[in-house]
Structure 1
Amino acid sequence: MILALAAVGGLVVGSFLNVVVHRVPRNQSLIRPASHCPACAAPIRFRHNVPVVSWVALGGRCADCRVRIPVRYPLVELATAALFVAITARFGVSWALPAYLYLAAIAVPLALIDLDVQRLPNKIVLPSYAIGAALLALTTDWTAAARAIAAMTVLYGGYWLMAVLYPGGMGFGDVKLAGLLGLFLGWLGWSSVWIGTFTGFLLGGTVGIALLVTRRATGKTAIPFGPAMLAGGLLAVFAAAPLANWYFSVLYPAG
């Protein structure tokens, strides 16, 4: 029952995140005007605003002008629902659950916006420091809270240094995101911090090499790093311990 509620909540939140992804980079209000077709500006009727179902029922087209609605819209809703179910299964009904549901919710638009416009908006990242800290404080685990603050400081400082020394390879949006991920991963433990950070670099490097090999990018092409950081952080939330054991076995094989 709890997982089913998480799935429904994820679909609803995912529908809102589509608005965030579209409007935040354009500095538009998230409230007004009401949801409408970008092509013909016709308001979206309430019955056409049901996550996933409406897209399928309309055949992926606007009910008024019949312009195609990108398949990314229902995929975002489904991905958010899947993340909410996974997070709920991971933490159960606990005081930590709201904090990590929030992390999952902001990870989706941040990754997509970074892919679209190569920017991690301050409007999402900066308030999330206060919101994340407040939600984690609900757990009243002050040892974990102190570790979270320390990890936030370490990752922010480390990424800031990299951005200063190598400005072409690291943006200050990545720096601010690193501190935020440090807050959430630090609460879980130092292994989550290191695994999340290392996995982010591993994923980012792998994608970069793949793009170079397939000639879809050159050495001067700016490649968004935020999605890799977020993916690494979420992987650490779910699997820090087994990933740490695997990394260790690769570095120090038995026998």
Structure 2
Amino acid sequence: MSPEVVGAGILGLLVGSFLNVVAHRVPLGESVVRPASRCPGCRTEIRRRDNIPVLSWVLLRGRCRVCSSPISVRYPLVELATALLFAGIAALVGLTWALPAYLYLAGIAVPLALIDLQVRRLPDQIVLPSYAVALVLLTVASAGTGDWAALLRALVGGVSLFALYALIFVVKPGGMGLGDVKLAGVLGLYLAWWGWDALAVGGFLAFLIGGLIAVGLILFTSAGRRSKMPFGPAMLAGAFLALIVAAPVGDWYLGLTGLST
């Protein structure tokens, strides 16, 4: 395993601990900086030695050191998931100029998915600043590689995917939320910077994954066809999957059409 993958995984553990705070506090309108993390039972501030990602939860057996109140297993699972996502991104992107940009995307994906699943909302506090951050990081990546065409492609892709989702939002009211439209623009930037094939595949996979989830919920839960279902996680999953499969899928399609070289 390469050093950048290991390093990204360790960084993911640390970032995941903070993302737990973000996912919990942002929907409540609370600051993610103050106060420090506290036990949900006795409200005692968690000591630094008890705030080591995953390890502290295991050593404390999932309970507060002071009052023994249970601490949800969600916390270490989010930390582990973030570590795996960061490591996967590092393995895919490599130690390149683009790595910080895609690690940032992974970092916002975790709380956005959690919040959308929990409260059916994609907060502007996370999505809107991501436009500026993504543009800065992708510009740095293009400057570092000299691939300015990728940045232009990202701008076109961001506008295009935003426009597509906005059209669906207008034509089919209730089909998706305005937060989905805003997130589409961010994902369009990242997917198109990666390549036109990633943009096309990522856009398609979002609806495919969303449809499969909806069918599963209707078949195995009490959800009905008119039930409001979070689409953000499907959009994010489709985007990350597209980064992996877009190139082979694109080659396969071109082979079918006889356009491949």
Q: State the AA in 2 paired with 1:187.
A: W
RMSD: 1.7
Correspondence for 2:224 among 205, 218, 221? 218
- Which residue matches 2:172? 166
**Could you tell me how far apart the structure 1 residues matched to 2:256 and 2:228 are?**
31
Unaligned runs of 5+ in 2: none
Ranges in structure 1 where 5+ consecutive residues have no aligned partner: none
Structure 2 residue aligned with 1:25: 27
Counterpart CA distance in 1 for 2:43 and 2:166 is 42
1:85 matched to 2:87:
yes
Structure 2 residue corresponding to 1:147, chosen from 131, 143, 153:
153
Which of these residues, 186, 203, 209, is aligned with residue 203 of structure 1? 209
Question: Structure 2: how far apart are the matches of 1:161 and 1:91?
Answer: 32
The one of 115, 138, 142 equivalent to 1:113 is 115
Read off the aligned partner of 1:114 and give its amino acid letter. D
Q: 1:41 to 1:249 in 2, by over 3 A?
A: farther
Letter in 1 for 2:244: F
Further displaced range: 124-133 or 240-249: 240-249
Counterpart of 1:71 in structure 2 is 73
Q: How many equivalent residue pairs? A: 252
Alpha-carbon displacement from aligned partner over 1:105-126 (angstroms, at most 9, x marks no partner): 0000000000000000000000
| Counterparts of 2:44 and 2:200, CA distance in 1 | 48
Please list the CA deviations of residues 29-70 of structure 1 after superposition, one character each: whole Å capped at 9, or x if unmatched.
111101111222110011000000001001011112212111
Alignment-mate amino acid for residue 100 of structure 1: Y
Matches of 2:234 and 2:252, distance apart in 1: 19
The aligned residue for residue 62 of structure 2 is 60
Q: Measured at CA, do residues 193 and 65 of structure 1 come closer, stay the same or move farther in structure 2, by a change above 3 Å?
A: same
Runs of 4+ in 1 over 3 A off after TM superposition: 243-252
CA separation of 1:76 and 1:248: change in aligned 2, threshold 3 A = farther
Identify the match of residue 180 of structure 1 among 171, 176, 186: 186
**Paired AA for residue 105 in structure 1:** G
TM-score, reference length from structure 2: 0.92
Cα deviation for residue 244 of structure 1 reads: 3.9
What residue is the counterpart of 1:137 in the other structure? 139
**Counterpart of 2:62 in structure 1: which amino acid?**
G
**What is the Cα deviation at residue 203 of structure 1?**
0.4
| Residue in structure 2 matching 1:232, options 221, 226, 238 | 238
Cα distance, 1:250 vs. partner? 9.8
Matches within 5 A, 1:90-109: 90-109=92-111
Calculate the TM-score normalised by the size of structure 1: 0.95
Specify the SS of the correspondent of 2:43: coil
* Partner AA of 1:9 in structure 2: L
Shift of 1:94: 1.0
Determine the C-alpha separation between the residues in 2 that align with 1:182 and 1:169.
Answer: 19
AA at the equivalent of 2:70 = R
Indicate the residue corresponding to 2:9 in structure 1: 7
Distance of 2:252 and 2:218 partners within structure 1: 27
- Give the SS at the match of 1:29: coil
